[in-house]
Homo-oligomer: A and B are copies of this chain.
Amino acid sequence: MFASADRKRVDDALRELSESGLDGIPGSLLEPIRYALAGEGKRLRPILAQLVHEACGGADDIIPLAISVEIIHTYSLVHDDLPCMDDDDVRRGRPTLHRKFSQREAVLAGAALIPIAARAVFRAGKKLGYDEGKCRAICRALLRGAGAEGMIGGQLRDLSAEGATLSLEAMESLHSAKTGDLILASARIGAISADASPEALTAVERYAKSLGLAFQIMDDVLDATGSTTTIGKTAGRDAALGKSTYVSILGVDRARQRAESLVKEGTDALLERGLLTSKLLEVANFILARNS
């Protein structure tokens, strides 16, 4: 999971952008950017956008547009791994960007991915025949998730929380921003591109918020129980950094139960509106069952 065919569509769209959509970038910067974009990943975010699009009645292949969220996600990983942040050496089974190149390349290539993502929206939106207003609404959803009030703010709060004991509420709020807002952006992009009704959009947002939190909880569970080889990044770092995690607060079993109950809330929100598809149910199950 996900179906390798879905992941491959995302990989192909990223490769196409990497090879043909980065004109004019000097080689010294192009190399680290391509390295970042070539990393393997679950591709949860663009696949989720596509599946939400279909659940809302859309019939487009929005993967070339939805990779914008994966690009923002990739940028956040590059910066997150920096020595002044999480200081990590391994990501997605490869050396982190600043270990492969240098910190300079990591700071610059990371930031460069933000305008690349925004432009991917307009580039793909145009090909899909979306009007300017729709492209802009999609871009706004993307930047809102990526921005200081979303992911970036969550990153800083997460780093600042090292060594501190957080309440469950404080941690949920932090992770809603850090991980959740970009997953929420994916779902919004899927719904907006399908011209979803306001009611459908609300249901989709509830689903995405619940799944985003569940995803983070399972990340903590994996960090506490997985191995570096399996999860593709250094395992056990959270404990080493003295971070509050769902596992440190709830223990592994109750953390997993909390994730399950969140996933149920999310799928129920879609069910109520008749929007739950077999594939969106699979995504929900994947979040609980994943081992990497």
Residues of A within 8 A of B (CB): 22-26, 28-30, 33, 75, 79, 82, 84-85, 102-105, 107-112, 114-116, 118-119, 122, 131-133, 135-136, 139-140, 143-144, 146-149, 152-153, 155-157, 159-160, 177
Contacts and interface: CB of A to CB of B under 8 A. Distances in A.
Contacts of A143: 115, 118-119
A104 B156 contact: yes
A contacts with B: majority SS:
helix
B112 A148 contact: yes
Nearest to A23: B149
Contacts of A119: 140, 143, 147
Given A111-B79, A146-B115, A160 B28 contact: yes
A157 B114 CA distance: 19
A85 B104 contact: yes
Contacts of A147: 25, 112, 115-116, 119
A146 B139 CA distance: 17
A23 B114 CA distance: 20
A116 to B, nearest CB: 7
Given A107-B107, A132-B136, A29 B148 contact: yes
Given A84-B103, A116-B148, A122-B140, 16 more contacts: A22-B148, A23-B149, A26-B156, A26-B177, A28-B157, A29-B148, A29-B153, A79-B111, A84-B104, A110-B111, A111-B111, A112-B152, A114-B115, A116-B147, A118-B118, A118-B143
A18 B235 CA distance: 39
A28 B156 contact: yes
A136 B115 contact: no
